[in-house]
């Protein structure tokens, strides 16, 4: 077997690995290549930052809703359940 | 076992030292038939439950039915709740089961795109954004690199609306995964368990979903306001 010198990642490849990177599942060697590429690439650094921004933004959808009052049917459901228990 | 994080408990109980003891008190109140405890817990979880349910089924009305069915399951299962998982995880586990079986029943009568990976080699970024593989100096590097997004614009309601809409139109599997992971903040383990998919499959779906939503946001961020 010939030892393989790690080839530098192209930006095009990096964008396909970004989720695995954020999920922490890249093999160590690949992880190192990923970070090495980031050091010298402003575009990919911005791309990764955008992905992180996006995850943060998606999480804000959760807080964007004012909880509605419990619907009447649910209260009815609770009362029926309660009556069955006693 | 689902162990969904980010407990949501009635405010008056939120001070209690341990989530476990809060759960125990809520459960006890429910077992005692305390209507206020029921209303509080419903109000607390209902929005997230509807969001999660609606990714499994075809309409908001059916999602509401699924949530109602879940509450019925919660009440009837209450005596069996042993606190091995948090109350919230337990509730969402019941929800996922109800929603999944409803979704499966629906799928039999209507054609739905499911977890089939579909468009296999879907690129995360539009290929013309990169220089060709034959470029003498920078093959496969950015032709038009992405730029950092301006925080002021990112923080607007308009951007949030755009993200919500972009998630809404994703294929079902992608929408479910990004909703559970990024909107609801579930872990990958919780998401895989609820959806009955592998970690690898989950990552593929998450990757596609995020990539598509990113593209939409990028266009919006560069294009001025809509």
Residues B19-72: tens digit of each pLDDT: 668 889 999 999 999 999 999 999 889 988 999 999 899 888 999 999 999 999
Residues in chain A: 86
Is the residue at B121 inside a domain?
Answer: no
**Pair B174, B208 in one domain:** yes
Q: Is B120 on the interface with A (CB under 8 A)?
A: no
In chain A, the domains with their CATH numbers are 11-85 (1.10.10)
Q: Is B178 on the interface with A (CB under 8 A)?
A: yes
Residues of the domain holding B190: 127-222
* 8 A C-beta contact, residue B43 and residue A68: yes
Question: Cα(B135)–Cα(B125) distance, rounded to whole angstroms?
Answer: 18
Write the CATH number for B58.
1.10.1740.10
**Pair B82, B149 in one domain:** no
* 8 A C-beta contact, residue B222 and residue B214: no
pLDDT, block means (10 residues), chain B with 226 residues: 47 52 91 93 91 90 94 94 86 92 76 50 88 92 95 93 94 93 92 90 97 96 69
In this complex, the residue of B68, B71, B148 whose CB is nearest that of residue A49 is B148
Write the CATH number for B147.
1.10.10.10
Q: Hunting for tokens 């809509």 — which residue is that?
A: B226
The total of structural domains in chain B comes to: 2
Is the residue at B122 inside a domain?
Answer: no
Give the closest residue to B206 by CA, choosing from B184, B169, B224, B180. Answer: B180
Q: In chain B, which residues have their Cβ closer than 8 Å to the Cβ of A59?
A: 182-183, 185
**Pair B134, B213 in one domain:** yes
In this complex, do A58 and B39 lie within 8 Å of one another by their Cβ atoms?
A: no
Is the residue at B138 inside a domain?
Answer: yes
In chain B, which residue's Cα lies nearest the Cα of A81? B75
**Pair B99, B171 in one domain:** no
Question: Cα(B29)–Cα(A81) distance, rounded to whole angstroms?
Answer: 14
Instruction: Tally Cβ neighbours within 10 Å of residue B223.
Output: 8
Looking at the whole model, is its pTM more than 0.80? yes
Among the candidates B49, B78, B109, a domain finishes at B109
pLDDT for position B89: 84
Among the candidates B77, B109, B141, a domain finishes at B109
């Amino acid at each position: 077997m010939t030892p393989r010198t790690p080839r530098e990642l192209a930006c095009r490849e990096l964008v396909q690995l970004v989720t695995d990177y954020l999920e922490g599942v890249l093999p160590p060697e690949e992880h190192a290549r990923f970070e090495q590429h980031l050091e010298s690439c402003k575009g990919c650094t911005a791309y990764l930052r955008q992905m992180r921004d996006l995850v943060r933004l998606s999480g804000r959808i959760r807080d964007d809703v004012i909880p509605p009052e419990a619907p009447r049917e649910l209260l009815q459901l609770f009362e029926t359940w309660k009556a069955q228990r006693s | 076992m689902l162990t969904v994080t980010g407990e949501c408990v009635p405010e008056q109980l939120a001070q209690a030292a341990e989530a476990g003891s809060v759960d125990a008190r809520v459960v006890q109140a429910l077992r005692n038939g305390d209507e206020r405890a029921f209303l509080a817990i419903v109000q607390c979880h209902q929005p997230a439950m509807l969001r999660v349910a609606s990714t499994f089924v075809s309409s908001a009305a059916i999602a509401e039915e699924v949530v109602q069915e879940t509450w019925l399951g919660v009440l009837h299962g209450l005596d069996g709740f042993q606190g091995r998982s948090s109350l919230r995880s337990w509730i969402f586990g019941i929800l996922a089961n109800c929603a999944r079986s409803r979704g499966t029943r629906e799928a039999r009568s209507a054609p739905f795109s499911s977890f089939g990976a579909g468009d296999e080699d879907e690129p995360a970024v539009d290929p013309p954004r990169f220089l060709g593989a034959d470029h003498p100096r920078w093959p496969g590097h950015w032709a038009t690199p992405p730029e950092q997004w301006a925080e002021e614009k990112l923080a607007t309601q308009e951007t949030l609306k755009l993200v919500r809409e972009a998630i809404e139109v994703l294929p079902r599997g992608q929408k479910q995964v990004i909703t559970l992971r990024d909107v609801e903040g579930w872990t990958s383990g919780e998401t895989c368990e609820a959806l009955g998919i592998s970690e690898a499959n989950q990552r593929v779906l998450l990757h596609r979903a995020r990539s598509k939503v990113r593209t939409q946001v990028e266009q919006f961020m560069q294009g001025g306001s809509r």
